[in-house]
Amino acid sequence: MRGSDLGRLCNEIGDRLFARNIRGYLGTTSINRGMEHTLAEEPQHFWYFNNGVTIVCDEAKQIAERDQKRLCVANAQIINGQQTT
C-alpha cells in the first residue's frame, strides 16, 4: 500500500480506523518530533525510518481487473502504526 493511499484512508475513515489500536495517539513525544523532522527535512527516508503499519480486517477479497490485482477489505483497522499514519 502506498503512503498516499494510507493517508487517504485515514482522512476518509477518521478515528474509527484506529478503534482496535490499544495504544492510540501518544501526543507530542520525541519520537513524534523526529517523525515530523523526517517529513520536513528528509521525506524520502520517512518510510524507511517509520514503517510497520499493521492492518487487520474482517474480510479480504482479491479482485483482478485489467491486469491489475487489488485487495478489497471490510472493516479495516490499524492495530499498529497509528503514530506513523
Every domain of the chain and the residues it spans: 3-80
| Confidence (pLDDT) at 42 | 93
Tell me what the mean pLDDT of segment 15-27 comes to: 77
Q: What is the pLDDT of residues 40-52, one digit of tens each?
A: 999 999 878 877 7
CA distances from 78 to 44, 57, 68, 69, 71 (A): 23, 9, 25, 22, 16
Indicate the pTM of the whole model: 0.64
What's the N-to-C CA distance of the chain in angstroms? Answer: 12
pLDDT of residue 25: 66
